[in-house]
Amino acid sequence: MQKPNNRLAGQTAIVTGGSSGIGAAITKSLALEGANVCINYHSDQKGANEVADWVADNIGANKTLIVQGDVGREEDVDQLFEQTLERFGTLDICVANAGIQKDFPMHEMSLEAWQAVINTNLTGQFLCARAAIRIFLEQGMRPEVSNSLGKIIHISSVHEEIPWAGHVNYATSKGGLVMLMESICQEYAPQKIRCNSIAPGAIKTDINKDVWSDEEGLEKILKLIPYGRMGNPEEIGSVVAWLASDESEYINGTTIFVDGGMTCYPGFSQNG
């Protein structure tokens, strides 16, 4: 676990899907850097409470706020950002992390499964980024806490680059995030907004538990990871904390892959 630091002191972050897995680890990492964090959750209230309790026990009281909401619904996103501002007074960092998978072979995929994934994974990230940009522009520079007007971090996936048979809705949503993130950078970098993505590879969470909890599944997934092991949520959290800080100030409009080399296509090491 990352050591407590103060790189984000005086700043406020929203983490969507902050109640479990990668989102929970991101919340803890940002809090360890001194940020206030609004933990958004969709259905896992217990998980959100546990993350908030962890922050209270390990870092301090009154550092988190919990807000339920579906990131694919405009009114939920609006109230998520409003409540965060009401509670903490400012917003400096938006981590659009909430994401789902609904896997089917393409010919068996219903329109509903397609739309549900696009709605959460892509439209949800648009709505959150838009809400954050509106606040950043209105709020103005806060040189006492950061050199940037605000930071947006999209949690994407290696599947923004690697096609994924049987998961066309998910891969398409992540591919769309590349253009969302790059276009936001192009549009708002002049105002000193930084917008980047982090693309995790196979990180051990509930989303892929059916794969890693099965011996054969684990063996197969490890063949796709040159580094020879799956990642931990904390290994995403620490990169988010750094990417939100001024240490990475000149990074804008790019994706950082945190994947143990998965995007180096290990299948080609003895083939092709």
Question: Which listed range, 10-18, 37-45, 110-118, 151-159, lies at the site for ligand BGC (CB under 6 A)?
Answer: 151-159
Closer by beta carbon to ligand BGC, 90 or else 208: 208
Among the listed residues 207, 218, 222, 264, the single contact to ligand BGC using CB under 6 A = 207
Q: Is residue 170 annotated as a catalytic residue, yes or no?
A: yes
Q: What are the distances in angstroms from CA 263 to CA 6, 27, 151, 213, 232?
A: 32, 26, 25, 23, 17
Interaction residues for ligand BGC, span 95-134 (CB under 6 A): 101
- What is the helix, strand, coil percentage profile of the chain, to 5? 50, 15, 35
Closer by beta carbon to ligand BGC, 157 or else 196: 157
State in angstroms the smallest separation of the CB of 178 from ligand BGC: 14
State in angstroms the smallest separation of the CB of 37 from ligand BGC: 23
CB-CB neighbours of 234 under 10 Å: 17
How many whole angstroms from its chain centre is CA 94?
Answer: 9
Phi, psi of 243 (to 5 degrees): -70, -25
Three-state DSSP at 149 gives coil
How many residues of this chain bind ligand BGC (CB under 6 A)? Answer: 8
Site map for ligand BGC, 39-78, x if CB under 6 A?
----------------------------------------
Q: Which residues contact 98 (CB under 8 A, 6 or more apart)?
A: 16, 17, 23, 40, 42, 71, 120, 121, 124
User: Is 157 one of the binding residues for ligand BGC (CB under 6 A)?
Assistant: yes
Closer by beta carbon to ligand BGC, 28 or else 167: 167
Site of interaction with ligand BGC (CB under 6 A): 101, 157-159, 201-202, 207-208
